[in-house]
Amino acid sequence: MSTLASLRLLRKPWNASKGNQSNATVGASSGWCQGLDIPNELFLVLGLVSLVENLLVVAAILKNRNLHSPTYYFICCLAVSDMLVSISNLAEMLLMLLLEHGVLVMHPSIIRHMDSVIDMLICSSVMSSLSFPGVIAVDRYITIFYALRYHSIMTLQRAVVTMVSIWLASTVSSTVLITYYSSNTILLCIIGFFLFMLVLMLVLYIHMFTLARHHLHSISSQQKPPTTHRGGSLKGAITLTILLGVFFICWGPFFFHLILIVTCPTNPFCICFFSYFNLFLI
């Protein structure tokens, strides 16, 4: 079974002939190209930790009425998306372990159907996990630049429509991804979506950070004697760097993987990179 139907090709690039693929694999089979063997138990532990963490976020937002606003609903949806990824991976990993140890015996056709269902759930959760950080950035942007009109722009009804639309779009896109996972066009669309979200967040947060610095400068210039707020600017820059840096570090290797699949599926270097799939999955 695969971890993602769209990533079956990560271990075995689909658009390479068997001869070229085997030659490339032989040429890349020495040294660090052997890949990294990560025990299944580690995946289970990380899945459980992620599940508990996101459950705490969801519980905190649902329990505290002060957090019942569009902003925190978007954050709740992001936590649910990550939680579904954890649940799907846990279910698939447990199923794999039970089948490997002979505890569970199932007909191959049933296994394939279960695999497709789990993969679809993972893919839709991943797409929504990419979408909601962008929505949260847009929401924060409206809060800062349209503060007086925020409640009329981001109403509860519009927030619900946005959340439902993202979940529906994620489900449809995951269905297409599962069906046509071997198509370069599909992979390019996924890569483009990731880059779009990254650029969107980068532009919006940098604009918000620039406005914050301008306000601090205006306040300091009106004070007598003028004071500087380097600490606040530095704190904002660090927060911005951490926010975008963590997003890129967590998703970057995964999408770089997809880029290499499209551009150089038989290159020895790319074959070596493919062998570290489990590390990037973690």
Using H for helix, E for strand and C for coil, what is the string for the chain?
CCCCHHHHHHHCCCCCCHHHHHHHHHHCCCHHHHCCCCCHHHHHHHHHHHHHHHHHHHHHHHHCHHHCCHHHHHHHHHHHHHHHHHHHHHHHHHHHHHHHCCCCCCCHHHHHHHHHHHHHHHHHHHHHHHHHHHHHHHHHHHHHHCHHHHHHHCCHHHHHHHHHHHHHHHHHHHHHHHHCCCCHHHHHHHHHHHHHHHHHHHHHHHHHHHHHHHHHHHHHHHCCCCCCCHHHHHHHHHHHHHHHHHHHHHHHHHHHHHHHHHHCCCCHHHHHHHCCHHHHHC
Mean pLDDT of 250-264: 86
Residue 207 inside a domain? The answer is: yes
Which residue bears the tokens 């390479």?
16
Residue 253 inside a domain? The answer is: yes
Query: Which of 29-43, 80-94, 155-169, 237-251 is predicted least confidently?
Result: 29-43
Residue 187, domain extent: 38-218+235-276
Is it the case that residue 19 has pLDDT exceeding 50?
A: no
Higher pLDDT, 83 or 221: 83
Is it the case that residue 102 has pLDDT exceeding 90?
A: no
At 162 the pLDDT is 95
Residue 254 inside a domain? The answer is: yes
Query: Which of 49-53, 72-76, 135-139, 262-266 is predicted least confidently?
Result: 262-266
Higher pLDDT, 220 or 230: 220
Return the closest-CA partner of residue 77 out of 118, 129, 124, 126: 129
At 76 the pLDDT is 93
Is it the case that residue 4 has pLDDT exceeding 50?
A: no
CA 282 to chain centre: 12
Is it the case that residue 37 has pLDDT exceeding 90?
A: no
Residue 5 inside a domain? The answer is: no
Is it the case that residue 242 has pLDDT exceeding 60?
A: yes
At 54 the pLDDT is 92
At 240 the pLDDT is 72
At 22 the pLDDT is 45
Q: Is the CB of residue 193 less than 8 Å from the CB of residue 236?
A: no
At 73 the pLDDT is 94
Average pLDDT, the chain: 78
Q: For the segment 176-189, what is each residue's pLDDT rounded down to a tens digit?
A: 887 777 778 888 88
Higher pLDDT, 137 or 33: 137
Query: Which of 28-42, 65-79, 240-254 is predicted least confidently?
Result: 28-42
- Which of 46-50, 137-141, 240-244 is most confident? 137-141
Residue 184 inside a domain? The answer is: yes
Residue 33 inside a domain? The answer is: no
Nearest-5° angle of CA 10, CA 44, CA 86? 70
Domain with 119 in it: what CATH number? 1.20.1070.10
How many domains does the chain contain in total? 1
At 231 the pLDDT is 54
Query: Which of 45-49, 127-131, 156-160, 208-212 is predicted least confidently?
Result: 208-212
Nearest-5° angle of CA 44, CA 45, CA 47? 65
Higher pLDDT, 173 or 240: 173
Mean pLDDT of 81-90: 85
pLDDT band at 42 (very low <50, low <70, confident <90, very high): confident
Which residue bears the tokens 């089948």?
99
Enter the tokens of residue 11. Answer: 């271990």
Residue 119 inside a domain? The answer is: yes
Residue 186 inside a domain? The answer is: yes
At 5 the pLDDT is 39
